[in-house]
Amino acid sequence: MNLMLEIKNLHVSIEGKQILKGIDLKISAGEVHAIMGPNGSGKSTLTQVLAGNEKYEVTKGEVIYQGKNLLELSPEVRAREGVFLAFQYPVEIPGVSNAYFLKAALNEIRSAKGLEEMDAVEFLELLKEKMKLVEMDSSFTNRPVNEGFSGGEKKRNEILQMAVLEPTLGVLDETDSGLDIDALKIVAQGVNRLRRKDRSFLVVTHYQRLLNYIIPDFVHVLVGGRMVRSGGKDLAFQLEEKGYDWVKVEPEVSEEHVK
Amino acid sequence: MVHARVPGTKGLENYLAIFGSREKKLLQAEPSWLTHLRKTAIERFSNLGFPTAQNEYWKYTNVAPIAETRFDFVPNQTLPEISIQQLETFMFGHPEWPRLVFVNGKYLESLSSQTSQTDHLRISNLRSVLGSGSKVFESYLARIASFEENSFAALNTALMDDGAFIYIPEGKVLDKPIHLMFVSLTQNGALTSQPRTLIVAGKNSKVRVIESYASLCGGSYFTNAVTEVFVGENASVEHYKLQRESERAFHIGTTEAYQSTGSKLASFSIDLGGKLVRNNLTVGLHEEGSECELNGLYYVSGEEHVDNTTFIDHPKPCGVSRQLYKGLISGKGRAVFFGKVYVHKNAHHTDAAQTNKNLLLSEGATVDTRPQLEILNDDVKCTHGAAVGQLDEEMIFYLKTRGIGDREAERLLSYGFAREVIERVRIEAVRTELDRLLLARLQDCAYFAWRDRMKK
């Protein structure tokens, strides 16, 4: 299988505080990986670093995406190369309609790929089609980006954007948080329909619940900035049953060994 | 012949001479009240002279380039043939909207349409009523826009030659907006135009008026416009001023409104052009329970200077005023906002809110903002605030993660910032036009280069 993403010994800090303390991860094309972990374990930090947030400082390690050094690329270039982050807290952009914003984004990505820009008519066709995927009604197109959206609407909007921009690597940060079960199903269904053998997903979640609907190929457990366990989808069930304390013990021990 | 009473400037001498040469002719053609008015105005102008930085209200805007230039005033000039197609880029909305077109201040009937000359409804040029003996005209002209302390209004009053007169009688609701187009066309030498507009909305009437100021071929010229608005009892007026003069033009605009009991005024002041622009907007909530909403939007780039000085007067109880002015300043542009709200002693239950927000988009851009509340009554609800900021980093990052680059991110966030004002526009065609004009103007994107330098 083609290697999509390789994270090697990644160390990240913010404002002098070390958050990620040596992450290793390999994702091949077509795979869905889930990262689970308690609050404060560094899950969101990892997603933000993959998207290129400059607030986080990579102090060691590297990230190879499709053979390129991802950390050298600006956030917009990463997006044009096919990396997409569904935010845990999507940002509101007052005054800019969803349709205008998404058309601008799609056309920047198309231009970078040497494709012709889409005109308004073509784009609205496409948008309408994709909106069905996440069961959004047409009033969405003219509303300002995320402004006044409910938590569920914001999350659905992230998936809609992903559906329109068609990334190669979709990174989902706590996409299930704040969703009721119906919204969760819609979001999961949206993601599942985007699964392809040349597209990978990294799904970050606190709860196992989402993984009932988006079935991962691999599950990793992140605690205290380190991956403490990796396994198949069953690992998620074990975590749900036994709680994070079950896996928390080991890293402390191994740290002492190193010392 | 009037002589200057203050240290003369080229401009002052020039206008006094122009008045002198017009005086005799006007005396013969116009009613005596008007001649008297003009004489009083030119006297006042010669006493005041052009304002200088010593004047508190002109502290941030230096009009020396206007004061030191001899602009020609040729109201009855011969104009080249101008077709309606040439003006198309300034037109928007529906062809059936009443339209008055002025080029260099001169009314062009052939390009105007849907005018009305009856006593029941007047949508006409000013000249057509100057000598008509219209009582309405006489009782309102120069009664709203005071030239006591405003030398530009004094100059306009002395020299005004044409403009628009709109009279909406009691109970009349005009559903089509009226578009007044003041177009400048530079030929030989720098010209000035002194357009004058008078809008009288009778009791329970409704009217919407758009004033456009634009340039056909660029160049340097000076527009000195005065607009007076009378809003009758329970009447409703929407007034739009869309200023997009050439990048070398000088524009001084004075707009004053008188509001009667229970009346409503919505004002929009949009500035998308001009080298040196000053808008004086004064709204007097002179009778009880009147409401005004003043909105402003300015995009200042290159070496442009745009100054909005507003005064909202609350002399009577239960007045409501809302003000939102937003500005985008780029290049070496400079913006000024000086907004005063004055609540008199007996104006209890006044409800006033004033906001001015600015985005600085480049290193060389500057803004001076001075919201000011003066309240002499305790039983009021008044707020004000001003902000000067930059683009939001979280928004920038979000856009970038969607593939949007520096240039488009700056355009999109600037546009989004301005939309708060555009959304308040009640006429869809005007909203659409503002969207188009603003996006077309958001071109010199230097924000990210500046941001990167700051980060280092």
User: How buried is B209 (Cβ within 10 angstroms: 0-12 exposed, 13-18 middle, 19+ buried)?
Assistant: buried
In chain B, residues with a C-beta closer than 8 Å to the C-beta of A91 are 394-395, 397-398
pLDDT at B6: 60
Class of domain A3-258: alpha beta
User: How buried is B378 (Cβ within 10 angstroms: 0-12 exposed, 13-18 middle, 19+ buried)?
Assistant: exposed
Task: Compute the nearest-CA separation of A209 from chain B (Å).
Answer: 27
Q: Scan residues 61-80 of A and list those with Cβ closer than 8 Å to B.
A: 74-76, 78-80
pLDDT at A1: 60
Number of residues that this document lists for chain A = 259
Q: Which residues of B touch A (CB under 8 A)?
A: 394-395, 397-406, 408, 412-413, 415-420, 423
Mapped onto helix, strand or coil, the DSSP state of residue A103 is: helix
Choose one of B227, B261, B284: the last residue of a domain.
Answer: B284
Judged by a CB distance cut-off of 8 A, whether residue A235 touches chain B is no
Domain count, chain B: 2
Choose one of B284, B303, B325: the last residue of a domain.
Answer: B284
Which among B400, B401, B415 has the least Cβ separation from residue A96? B415
Which among A85, A93, A106 has the least Cβ separation from residue B401? A85
Quick one: pLDDT band at residue A258, thresholds 50, 70, 90? very low
* Contact of B391 with B410, CB cutoff 8 Å: yes
pLDDT at B4: 54
Contact A76 B405 (CB under 8 A): yes
Q: Is residue A253 over pLDDT 90? A: no
Low-confidence ranges of chain B (pLDDT < 50): none
Task: Compute the nearest-CA separation of B311 from chain A (Å).
Answer: 28
| Domain carrying residue B402 | 391-456
Task: Please name the amino acid found at residue B272.
Answer: L
The rounded distance, in Å, linking the Cα atoms of B171 and B165 is 18
Choose one of B284, B319, B340: the last residue of a domain.
Answer: B284
Quick one: pLDDT band at residue A250, thresholds 50, 70, 90? low
pLDDT at A257: 40
Q: Which of B328, B357, B402, B407 to mutate to test the interface with A (most CBs of A within 10 A)?
A: B402
Is B118 a domain residue?
Answer: yes
Task: Please name the amino acid found at residue B74.
Answer: V
The rounded distance, in Å, linking the Cα atoms of A223 and A204 is 13
Q: Is residue A256 over pLDDT 80? A: no
Q: Where are the domains of chain A?
A: 3-258
DSSP B315: -
Q: What angle do CA A41, A46, A50 make, to 5 degrees?
A: 175
Q: Is residue A157 over pLDDT 90? A: yes
> pLDDT tens digits, residue range A132-145?
988 888 889 999 99
Task: Compute the nearest-CA separation of B410 from chain A (Å).
Answer: 12
In chain A, residues with a C-beta closer than 8 Å to the C-beta of B419 are 94-96, 144
In chain A, residues with a C-beta closer than 8 Å to the C-beta of B401 are 51-52, 75-76, 78-79, 84-85, 87
Task: Compute the nearest-CA separation of B391 from chain A (Å).
Answer: 11
Is B155 a domain residue?
Answer: yes
Average pLDDT, chain A: 92
pLDDT at B3: 58
pLDDT at B455: 81
* Contact of A73 with A137, CB cutoff 8 Å: no
Element (H, E) at A100: helix A98-112
> pLDDT tens digits, residue range A39-58?
899 999 999 999 999 999 99
> pLDDT tens digits, residue range B369-391?
999 999 999 999 999 999 999 99
> pLDDT tens digits, residue range B62-85?
999 999 999 999 988 888 899 999
List B103's β-bridge partners, or say none. Answer: B106, B183
Task: Please name the amino acid found at residue B61.
Answer: T
pLDDT at A254: 42
The rounded distance, in Å, linking the Cα atoms of B45 and A16 is 65
Q: Is the same domain home to B399 and B272?
A: no
Judged by a CB distance cut-off of 8 A, whether residue A119 touches chain B is no
The rounded distance, in Å, linking the Cα atoms of B211 and A190 is 50
pLDDT at B62: 96
pLDDT at B7: 61
Q: Is the same domain home to B270 and B398?
A: no
pLDDT at B5: 55
Contact B402 A79 (CB under 8 A): yes
Q: Is residue A251 over pLDDT 50? A: no
Q: In the block, which residue shows the tokens 């008026």?
A: B209
